């Protein structure tokens, strides 16, 4: 398979078109792309997303049923017994800091937002332990407000696709926002995360098994031999770890 994209010679318009083609092609390749965290309402998604820092979604999903069952609203988190909460969060790592964030979030929601999770980025980022990434996850998946989530996968893939040269997540988000249609921001992030987990790995991307290759200037960064590449592709269970 030949390299077909020379990003250095690409016009801004051509890059925009290619970015949108990539989003569509990723949709065909990963039609099941969606957020992996389990939740039933905006508060649960907010809590699960905070817990997913430095932890796999699979592990968070194992822990959250007990957490959500014990703490059903913002006031419950605000009033949580710290030791009990820490014990529940321990498997997700950094459990003391995460317990702090959850108690702080519960307190802030109860005091400033009537106990409800706000549906605005400017409000969400005022909550303890909540940055733009977490806020965009919540906006996109619990409120239907388009948001680009720049996690490690989205950052890496955006650079491999030559849609940005930035490493700072806020700048990557800004570059992507200028290329991808607003209505696709949330799903584009989900698709890139799926692609990063399954095929376009950090160390050895499975280029020879990648149907986005014709749109990707980084083709060849991983093995291009189809058989060798196929062995690198991860299924759902492996990718979720």
Contact status: 216 vs ligand SF4 (CB under 6 A): yes
Q: Which of 59, 73, 123, 151 is catalytic?
A: 151
CA distances from 195 to 148, 184, 187, 188 (A): 15, 16, 12, 10
Q: Is 55 annotated as a binding residue?
A: no
Q: What is the DSSP letter of 215?
A: G
* Nearest CB to ligand SF4, comparing residues 111 and 236: 236
Q: Do residues 163 and 19 make contact, with C-beta atoms less than 8 angstroms apart?
A: yes
Asked about 59 being catalytic, the answer comes back as no
Q: Measured between alpha carbons, how far is 46 from 137 in angstroms, rounded to an integer?
A: 8
Q: Is 207 annotated as a binding residue?
A: yes
Contact status: 212 vs ligand SF4 (CB under 6 A): yes
Q: Which of 133, 175, 190, 236 is catalytic?
A: 133
Stretch that binds ligand SF4, among 69-77, 89-97, 110-118, 215-223 (CB under 6 A): 215-223
Q: Measured between alpha carbons, how far is 187 from 27 in angstroms, rounded to an integer?
A: 8
Contact status: 194 vs ligand SF4 (CB under 6 A): no
Q: Do residues 115 and 73 make contact, with C-beta atoms less than 8 angstroms apart?
A: yes
Q: Do residues 194 and 211 make contact, with C-beta atoms less than 8 angstroms apart?
A: no
- Enumerate the active-site residues: 133, 151
Binding-site positions for [4Fe-4S] cluster read 200, 207, 210, 216
- Binding residues (CB under 6 A) for ligand SF4: these are 160, 199-200, 205-207, 210, 212-213, 216, 218-219, 221-222
């Amino acid at each position: 398979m030949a390299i077909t994209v020379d990003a250095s010679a690409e016009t801004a318009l051509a890059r925009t078109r290619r970015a949108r083609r990539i989003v569509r092609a990723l949709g065909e390749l990963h039609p099941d792309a969606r957020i992996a965290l389990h939740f039933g309402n905006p508060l649960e998604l907010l809590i699960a997303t905070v817990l997913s820092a430095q932890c796999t979604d699979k592990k968070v999903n194992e822990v959250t049923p007990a957490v959500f069952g014990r703490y059903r609203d913002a006031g419950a988190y605000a009033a949580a017994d710290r030791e009990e909460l820490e014990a529940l969060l321990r498997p997700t790592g950094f459990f003391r800091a995460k317990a702090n964030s959850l108690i702080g979030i519960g307190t802030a929601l109860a005091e400033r937002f009537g106990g409800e999770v706000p549906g605005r980025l400017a409000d969400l980022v005022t909550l303890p332990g909540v940055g733009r990434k977490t806020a965009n996850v919540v906006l996109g998946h619990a409120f239907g407000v388009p948001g680009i989530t720049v996690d490690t996968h989205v950052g890496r893939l955006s650079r491999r696709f030559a849609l940005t040269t930035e490493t700072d997540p806020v700048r990557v988000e800004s570059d992507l926002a200028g290329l991808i249609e607003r209505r696709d921001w949330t799903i584009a992030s989900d698709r890139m995360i799926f692609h990063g987990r399954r095929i376009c790995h950090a160390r050895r991307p499975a280029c020879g098994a990648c149907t986005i290759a014709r749109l990707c200037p980084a083709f060849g960064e991983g093995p291009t031999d189809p058989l060798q590449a196929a062995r690198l592709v991860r299924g759902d269970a492996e990718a979720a770890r």
